[in-house]
Amino acid sequence: MTNSLPLRYGTNPQQSPARVFMRDGDLPITVLNGSPGYINLLDALNAWQLVRELKNATGLPAATSFKHVSPSGAAVATPLSDVLRKIYFVDDLDLSPLAVAYARARGVDRMSSFGDFIALSDTVDVPTAKLIAREVSDGVVAPAYESAALEILKKKKQGKYAVVQIDSTYEPALTETRDVFGVTFEQQRHDRALTRADFTNIVTQKKDLPESAIRDMLIAWIALKYTQSNSVCYVTDGQVIGVGAGQQSRVHCVRLAGTKADLWRLRQHPKILSLPFKADIKRPDRDNAIDQFLQPDVTDAEKKNWANVFTEVPNQLTPEERRAWLDGMTDVTLGSDAFFPFRDSIDRAVKSGVKYVFEPGGSNRDEDVIAACDEYGMTMAFTGVRLFHH
């Protein structure tokens, strides 16, 4: 163990020298392979907290895919349908519960997860290592690694893949500090536990909150705790399906995350599942092609490029086909790290199948937001807690 780790550079290559260190005691991390960077470790430490809390809250193996200090996906190990196995590109693999959690976390927004940093709640096993080995990723953090899994990961990126082990018993000091422009900030660490009790204040006419919705609320709630604010999160079936992070406007968060949730749903359309890709097209190129294919405003020049990836250029989904398929997405949970100031977020959320909502409450227009939920037959809980993260 050591109390200091030198880094190649900081946030940017011109920010050197750089390191991470402990003022007291040893670092809680050990680098088993590669050389993680400054941003890698920011992702790793935030992502580890997320999966640790998810595992503690649900009892299920948890995984997250982090990019630029926010999750692009997070999930627990719930069974995968054949369709999800196909759109996540894992229909040829035997998956352990931990591998299922990562397949979900990675697969929901594969473009945003390109070059991710992974966090896993449990000991990394061989099935999970095999899945990671074939994805474009910068590194992984976990409490332990099976020896065979570690050997698989050490071969990734010509032996330079960052593999970090974290002490699962480590708890930081209650007070945390941060330097910005030579000024030191100090505050109490955000150690408030997030539990199902946070969803008991139901303020809408509809009061039903099934166990699956409570689980999904917990997943959204914990994901938001480690997402750059403003942020909202759509969750269904035990996994995040859309994250809106770092926007100045609440409704723009909702629109951004809703668009991602819609794309996740549209990828499951039979026409998308049967797209005629050429045999030698790699997964990232498939991801890019699918994303472009699902955009409604593709230019003729962009369509010409499809000849490079498809054996024959198919027709895009019509607006009617898109809407009909999206209308089949139901029982989605929407969580927000702060209150909704207007009903516009609810009006957008219903288009993505949202049925359950939680937010802190406390806006001057709470009654308008509640009325919108009542209009759409949603169940909404006020948590009374804001979860900003910067």
Q: Is the pLDDT of residue 306 over 90?
A: no
**Helix 250-266 to helix 319-326 angle, to the nearest 10 degrees?**
100
Model pLDDT, residue 302 = 83
Tell me what percent of the residues of the chain surpass a pLDDT of 70.
Answer: 100
State pLDDT tens for residues 352-363.
999 999 999 999
Domain ranges within the chain, ordered by starting residue: 4-166, 175-266+326-382, 270-316
The answer to whether residue 372 scores a pLDDT higher than 90 is yes
67 is known as an active-site residue? yes
pLDDT at position 303: 85
Q: Write out the two tokens for 44.
A: 């790793």
- At 209-255, the pLDDT tens digits run 999 999 999 999 999 999 999 999 999 999 999 999 999 999 999 99
Superfamily the domain 175-266+326-382 falls into? AICAR transformylase, duplication domain (3.40.140.20)
Q: What is the pLDDT of residue 1?
A: 67
Q: Do domains 4-166 and 175-266+326-382 have the same CATH topology?
A: yes
Please compute the mean of the pLDDT values over residues 40-48 and round it to a whole number: 97
CATH, range 4-166: 3.40.140.20
Could you say which of 55, 67, 156, 355 is catalytic?
Answer: 67
Q: Is 269 known to be catalytic?
A: no
Mean pLDDT value of segment 253-258: 98
Task: Kindly name the residue from 56, 68, 305, 389 that is annotated as catalytic.
Answer: 68
Report the percentage of the chain scoring pLDDT > 90.
94
Marked catalytic residue, from 207, 315, 364, 390 = 390
Whether 230 is a known active-site residue: answer yes
What is the pLDDT, as a whole number, of residue 373? 98
pTM of the predicted protein model:
0.95
pLDDT for the residue 304: 84
Going by their DSSP bridges, the two strands 231-236 and 116-120 should be labelled as: unpaired
Average pLDDT, the chain: 96
pLDDT beyond 80 at 179: yes
Q: Is residue 50 scored above 70 in pLDDT?
A: yes
Structure confidence at residue 313 (pLDDT)? 83
Does residue 364 carry a catalytic annotation?
A: no
Catalytic residue among 230, 260, 269, 355: 230
